[in-house]
A = this chain, B = another copy of it.
Amino acid sequence: MCAKKAVGVLGATGSVGQRFILLLADHPDFELKFLGASPRSAGKKYIDAVNWKQTELLPEFAKDIVVSECKASAFKDCAVVFSGLDAEYAGPIEKEFKDAGLAVVSNAKNYRRESDVPLVVPIVNPEHLEIVGQKLETAKKAGAAKPGFIVCISNCSTAGLVAPLKPLVDSFGPIDLLTTTTLQAISGAGFSPGVSGIDVLDNIVPYIGGEEDKMEWETKKILAPLSADKSTVSLLSDDEMKVSAQCNRVAVSDGHTECISLRFKNQPPPSLEQVKQSMRDYVCDASKLGCHSAPKQTIHVLEQNDRPQPRLDRNRDNGYGVSVGRVREDPVLDYKMVVLSHNTVIGAAGAGILIAEILLAKNYI
C-alpha cells in the first residue's frame, strides 16, 4: 500500500477552502499537510485563523497546521495544490505555483478561458486532462523537469448543466440549442458576507453577476473536443451550439436547481425513453477508474413528478451524483428537464478533489 500523497490548500480559511479541508479528512489517497491563506492568517495555527462555519466539526488533523502565505516554496512537497482563492488574488499566485512546477487544481475563474488549461467537470470531461498528459509527455521526452500545470474547476452552475448533456451528446450527437434557468443556492456565494439575509428572505434575486456569461461559454468549452494534438481545446462556435442562461438566487442553502431545455442537431431526436435510458446508463470515467469519490450512480433519473428537490436530493452519492427529473417533451425545443447538483461538491471543492483523484489514476501527479 502506497504512502498518501501530500497536498495543500490555498485560500484555506475561506468557504471553498474549508470544504476542501473537510473532503480531505480521511482521504485514502491524499494527506493534507499544507494550508495557505492571506498574510493576516499566516503564522497562526489553522484553528486560530479560521472562522469555521461548516455543519461538520473542524477535523482534528487540521487544527494545528500552521498556515503559510501562498508562496510556492512553502508548498513544494505537494503532489497537488487545491486553490480556493478569490479571483482577486488567484491570478499571480496560481501562476507562480505552476511556474514552480506544481500541479494546481483551482476553483478560481482566472485561467478558465485559456485554451491550454483544461476546464473540467470530473464526471463529464476528464478527457480534457489529456492536455496535461501531453504536456508531461513532451517534457519527459525532452528530458525537461516535470512541468507545473493548472486545471480549472468549472463554475458551480455549469457543472449541473453539462452533466446530463454528456451522455446525450455521446449517444445522440450534438445539442445545438440549450436554455437553462437556474435557482441557485446561497452557499456558493461564501459567507463574508455572502448573500444578505434580506435579499433571500421571502425573495428572489434574479441576477448573479457574471454567472450567465460563464454558463454560456463554459458549456461550449466543456463539451468541445480536444484539438488534434491534444494540446488545447477551443469553444464550440455559435453555429455548433447556442446556449442561453437565466440565473436566480433563491433561499436554498446547498444545491442548484436548473430548468433546462435542449434541441438535438440530428432530427428527428431520440425518443423520450432513449433520452432517459442514456442518462441512467451513463457511467463516468472517474467511476470506471475506481476513483474514491466517484459517484456510484452518476445521473439519477427520477420518476416522481415533484423531484428532484434540493433538500431531499442534493446529497446523492455524497453530492457527486446529479439528479434529473421531469424529463419530458418540450413544445419549443426537443426535451426539457429539471437538474439538481450539489454546488459545493460537484460544483466546487468536491470537483477539485475528484479531478485530483483522476490525475492520480492517470499518473499525472
* Interface of A toward B, CB cutoff 8 Å: 53-57, 177-179, 181, 183, 186-187, 189, 191, 193-207, 216, 238, 242-244, 246, 248, 250-253, 257, 259, 261, 305-312, 315-316, 325-326, 330-333, 336, 338
Contact = CB atoms under 8 A, between A and B. Distances in A.
A58 to B, nearest CB: 11
A338 to B, nearest CB: 4
A331 B242 contact: yes
Tell me which of A261, A325, A332 has the highest count of chain B C-beta atoms within 10 A of its own C-beta.
Answer: A332
A197 to B, nearest CB: 4
A244 B336 contact: yes
A194 B312 CA distance: 17
* A193, A198, A309, A330 — most chain B CB neighbours (10 Å): A198
A198 B308 CA distance: 15
A204 B258 CA distance: 11
B179 A261 contact: yes
Nearest to A257: B204
Given A248-B259, A250-B251, A200 B197 contact: yes
Contact of A183 (B179, B183, B311): B183
B253 A250 contact: no
B305 A253 contact: no
Contacts of A198: 53, 186-187, 191, 194-195, 253
Nearest to A176: B332
A253 B202 contact: yes
14 contacts: A55-B315, A178-B332, A181-B181, A183-B204, A186-B197, A191-B199, A197-B201, A201-B253, A202-B311, A203-B310, A244-B330, A244-B331, A244-B332, A253-B311
Contact of A196 (B196, B242, B336): B196
A250 to B, nearest CB: 6
A244 to B, nearest CB: 4
A365 B202 CA distance: 39
B336 A246 contact: yes
Given A179-B332, A191-B198, A206 B338 contact: yes
A195 B196 contact: yes
A43 B241 CA distance: 49
A195 B306 CA distance: 13
A206 B306 contact: yes
Contacts of A238: 331
A340 to B, nearest CB: 8
A183 B250 contact: yes
Contacts of A242: 331-332
B197 A199 contact: yes
B312 A54 contact: yes
Closest 6 interchain pairs by CB? A193-B193, A181-B181, A195-B197, A246-B259, A203-B311, A207-B306
Contacts of A193: 193-194, 196
A252 B196 CA distance: 13
Which one of A204, A307, A308 has the greatest number of beta carbons of chain B within 10 Å?
A204
Given A206-B325, A207-B305, A306-B205, A338 B195 contact: no
B202 A202 contact: yes
Contacts of A206: 257, 259, 306-309, 325-326, 338
A326 B179 CA distance: 16
